[in-house]
A and B are shown apart, each in its own frame.
Chain A
Amino acid sequence: MAISYDEVEVGTELPAQSFPVTRDTLVRYAGASGDFNPIHWNEKFALEVGLPDVIAHGMFTMAEAIRVVTDWVGDPAAVVEYGVRFTRPVPVPNDGVGAVIEVSGKVAKLLDDRKVQVDLLATTGGQKVLGMSKAVVRLA
Chain B
Amino acid sequence: MALDPSFIGRTYPPTEPYEVGREKIREFAVAVGDQNPAYNDPEAAKALGHPDVIAPPTFPFVITYRAAAQVVEDPELGLDFSRVVHGDQKFAYTRPVRAGDRLSVTVTIDNIKSLAGNDVLTVRGEVTDATGEHVVTSVMTLVARAADEAGE
Contacts and interface: CB of A to CB of B under 8 A. Distances in A.
A67 interface: yes
B48 interface: yes
Contacts, number: 99
A59 B57 contact: no
Interface residues of A, number: 32
Nearest to B95: A77
Contact of A83 (B30, B49, B65, B90): B90
Interface string B71-96: 00000000000000111111111011
Contacts of B30: 28, 32
B54 interface: yes
Nearest to A67: B34
Contacts of B86: 58-59, 86
Interface residues of B, number: 34
Contacts of B54: 76-77
B27 A32 contact: yes
Contacts of B139: 83
A29 B31 contact: yes
A32 B48 CA distance: 25
B116 interface: no
Contacts of B27: 31-32
Contacts of B10: none
Interface in B5-39: 24, 27-28, 30-34, 36, 38-39
A86 B93 contact: no
Interface of B: 24, 27-28, 30-34, 36, 38-39, 48-50, 54, 56-58, 61-62, 65-66, 85-93, 95-96, 139
